[in-house]
Amino acid sequence: MPRLTVDPTTEICPAYEADDWATERQGLIAAHAGPVPLTDEAAVAQLRAIWQVLQTRKITQWNQQLAEDQQAEDERREDEERRRAELEKEEEERRKELERKKPKLNPFDRQRRVGDWIVPRPSAFALNKLQHLEYVELDYFTPKGCNQAHAEHEKTSNHDTFSITRVDDIVALQPISSLKPSKNIRRDEELTWDEMVMAKNTMLHFISKTNAWPEEHVHSLAAFYVILETHPTRLRDSYGSQIVMNYAGRVRREWFDALKRDEGFNLELINEDLMRSIADEVKDAARKDEIKDKADYSVLRVPFSLSPKNALLCVAAAAR
């Protein structure tokens, strides 16, 4: 049914008695088949009745059309309101996310001054390893390692350059400086005893700053070094510090590997058999170095008048 464009309630019944409608009236009179002829007044009455029936239908259609239009308008407004609410919600979420990501500074105490000592800061690579609960060599935390990190930070722009990495199955951006290890780092076993003591203290300090390590693990690692410092092997054996250094370096590395395998062990329980085995290795290496030094020294003292063959015999004899 065609859509109505004019309100039928505003329409007025035509004047069917007028001459303009004479043709329609004559058509009705001629088509009348009743015994009584249809008069002109009766034809006008029929035309009015027909108009009224049609007008009633148009008004019904108009009212239904208005109702449908109103429903469509209500639905449109509801959709618009829903979309507006969704946009406002998304905008609020974006605002909160931007606010959350916005750099913030914690408040400060106006009565508090800087401490008397600032712990030397290791490289971003070492701190990143600690933050992710991973093994990192102690040399990064020695004064030498911290000074090197400071020098590299001053002369490079790596701390402003980012690289894509994966953290806990999530792709993330991290500064290149936090992913790049130092080329000159020594193994724990190659440090001096004093370097190890200073380095482990610095490492434990920054471990506590991460707030990522379980308290039990931090205490166990600290106790591990305290126990080794007072271990009889270090105090009584001439190679004691070197032996204990080797034990500490190997065991700490194995501890991290074992934790990853879910086979963690107690660092504080010193394995004396392993300590003795490492002691034998250190002493054997020391004896070999001593023999080599003697042999090298003997070569320097070989008389120039000796033949090459006799010179070799002298070296062999000195080695014995």
Tally of CB atoms within 10 A around 137 = 23
SS3 120: coil
SS3 51: helix
Surface-to-core class of residue 62, CB atoms within 10 Å of its CB (0-12 exposed, 13-18 middle, 19+ buried): middle
| DSSP codes joined into one string, 228-297 | HHT-HHHHHSTTHHHHHHHHHHHHHHHHHHHHHTT----TTS--HHHHHHHHHHHHHHHHHHHHHHHHHH
Q: Which residues contact 146 (CB under 8 A, 6 or more apart)?
A: 120, 121, 122, 140, 202
pLDDT band at 106 (very low <50, low <70, confident <90, very high): confident
pLDDT reading at 5 higher than 70: yes
pLDDT for res 140? 95
At 170, phi and psi to the nearest 5?
Answer: -120, 130
d(CA 156, CA 175): 12
pLDDT tens digit sequence for 177-223: 456 788 889 999 999 999 999 999 999 999 999 999 999 999 999 99
- Token readout for 96 is 């909160």
Residue 52 CA: distances (Å) to CA of 8, 58, 214: 11, 10, 90
pLDDT tens digit sequence for 157-168: 445 555 555 545
pLDDT reading at 299 higher than 70: no
Overall residue count recorded for the chain in this entry: 320
- Token readout for 285 is 């290496």
pLDDT tens digit sequence for 211-268: 999 999 999 999 999 999 999 999 888 899 999 999 999 999 999 999 999 999 999 9
